[in-house]
Chains A and B, each alone.
Chain A
């Protein structure tokens, strides 16, 4: 293909709309997006995508969308929502994807802060939120929607198709209008604004340029040899930087095929049908998968169960070595091949991972046991460490150097530095420009010479790999000076399928205490097998049998901690099982499901006080927000249990798996 000199060729590919034009020219018939409509996968090629985006861009222009305008995009991962981002960018605008489960106030903050005049809602649910916001934020002038269901009575609004019809009329009179706008774009322009959920305070709108994103997309692809035609299932929120890089930037810059699941509930079967070659899952999803596998194996017959146990033990020993290309005795190789035919292959097929070449997990530290489970099966699971402010990529595990306790080596052109405080700093071509309308936060995060604070404490080990210990501000000390890294402790416990979430306390205290959130599915199933009755989450969480179960698991964690001299003093001495699940709607988790430690400490202060006060139980009453936005309260008595510390020196027992 000839597109002039090398200079003009790069020049022509510095924004996503320009990349789109290139795709439409060079590979119009190659698949770009897929979605399932009425049970059948529909494929959209680049030619179709370019036409759709052109029509929408023209429609937006007709509605008065100008250079620099923001387009709020809120909804599930749908091809048309992705296309709207490129349509806005074609006109020099900046799309602002928002978490689809945001409650109205959260969404309102973003709409107002971004100064958006335009918004695209996936469906009636999102339209209702936006209409409520419009009353308070009148600058939001145009709301249009994708899914017409339930929208018959919303006469004042336009549908996606109607906006495109406007575009078609405009294009009939001025066919080159979009192309002339696209040419004006520069790589240094703002491409996207992503609000970081943040474990503290208001979200901040990080502005990333085309240069940032296109560099990141290519650097990531280069690191792991991704190429055009690699398949990806886009099921993580569009507002999250990871999805933006994988499902948008890499789609345009590398040519990944983006598959949109039918609904959030069908992700598992969609995975299986698509068989992606490139897979991403946050640790929470991986934990859930393992929990499901564990539950289903308990249901299986004796023979299958024994077979599963035998071959999984083998796989944990041999699988990771095989993946890394290390020497493995012939007998083990043969047994692994048998296991592959009987267990690993069918299991990978069920999980939709048969064709996966590269799989990443990131977002939170992941337990080595979880990580190794997938590597044992032969799935090339790696850790990735990144941030919104870095356009994702900072470090990745290189092939053959996958260590569960590190997050890998820096991607090319990423420089890392460890501050005296232990905090990790970085510099890269992906570094964001600024937080929108928040120079203070920008200056706090980014130094004058371009180094960015990650907020994570970590160090580079002698293999050149980065190890993250915890959030820098969370790492503390017990009164006696013992190092207290809460996430380190919590993650150990979260490996158990019965534990959904754990929150450890201890900074400045005499000893470590813990809140546990049980996993309703796993514990419910466990209880059913033992004929333990329960009517609600609260009742199940309060049963003494459940306490016994959790206590056994905590004791195991204590044993592990005791084996590490640095951590032996930070064993869990008292714990309780929370009577309600921690929820993002109640502000207890961020939208990306990270624990908001400070907030939980405040909210459950009576429980924390009781943990350190010696009481055997405590009363708690908290406000909750239901899914439809109504408020209520949940109250009850929560038992507290004491644990004897494990004496160091006793051989640490490993959990049989």
Chain B
């Protein structure tokens, strides 16, 4: 089975004519595409194609020199990471960025931080509203722990966990923010087949159960073709293809980029 035939009428985020350069290096050149509400959107491309830069632009970590991003109907030239987070964009990183000495539970709890209303003092004293709030958030975190089937490592320091599980914890932390748009930077890099299958299932389940829109970068073609609704292909900072997995498979430019012809 290739791709999933579903239709998505509403655009959640659109990228228009984005260009980003670092000094003389053009990381992204005139890129436009959109992400529809509820879909699984993949960004693929060879190494150095600009995929991670693209995600960094979307969540406001990089500020493109040209172009604009429209998110939930609001058009802006640049966004700050914390604004992106407040607006419901969460992400994971290519290189795991967890607190290694903290437990799985605490790491995921940090993902709820944005939603905590009580102040530092209340939280430190752990009384009244802060206590109620923490119980509330803990409940949400426990749901995520169950959802991702990581009950057995609830209390384990994440630094001691195998890579595949750390990736899952990172996904958990991103989910804890209750995002509308989830950006996943190579969620399956360095995993074995079994771990990849598990991760695929979790990604699809997140999409299905919570209706979260997902934009992911991935190298494993079979994974991308199986779980994405639409794929955008970058090469040397330019967009060379955009469409359903079936269309992408037949796209001459994409084939050329991947087989190394024509450069």
Contact = CB atoms under 8 A, between A and B. Distances in A.
Contact of A263 (B142, B143, B147, B149): B149
Interface string B137-178: 011001101110101101100000000000000000000000
A262 B154 CA distance: 12
Nearest to B145: A39
A152 B139 contact: no
Interface string A63-93: 0000000000000000000000000000000
A628 B145 CA distance: 23
A6 to B, nearest CB: 48
Contacts of B197: 628
A38 B139 contact: yes
Contact of B142 (A38, A149, A150): A38
A377 to B, nearest CB: 24
A150 B149 CA distance: 14
A265 B152 CA distance: 6
Contacts of A262: 151-152
Interface string B113-131: 0000000000000000000
A263 B209 contact: no
A617 interface: no
Interface residues of B, number: 18
A266 interface: yes
A444 interface: no
Contact of A152 (B149, B194, B208): B208
Nearest to A268: B152
B194 A627 contact: yes
A249 B215 CA distance: 51
A631 B146 CA distance: 30
Contacts of B154: 39
Nearest to B197: A628
Contacts of A628: 197
B146 A38 contact: yes
B220 interface: no
Contacts of B138: 39
Given A152-B208, A152-B209, A269 B152 contact: yes
B77 interface: no
A633 to B, nearest CB: 15
A263 B194 contact: no
A491 B139 CA distance: 46
A174 B37 CA distance: 49
B194 A39 contact: no
Interface string A247-284: 00000000000000011011001000000000000000
Interface string A232-244: 0000000000000
Contacts of B193: 626
Contact of B152 (A263, A626, A627): A263
Contacts of B194: 626-627
Contacts of B10: none
A265 B208 contact: no
B223 to A, nearest CB: 14
**Across chains A and B, which 7 residue pairs bring their CB atoms closest together, nearest first?**
A265-B152, A38-B142, A266-B152, A39-B142, A262-B151, A266-B151, A263-B151
Given A152-B208, A152-B209, A262-B152, 13 more contacts: A38-B139, A38-B142, A38-B143, A39-B138, A39-B142, A39-B145, A150-B208, A263-B151, A263-B152, A266-B151, A266-B152, A269-B152, A269-B155
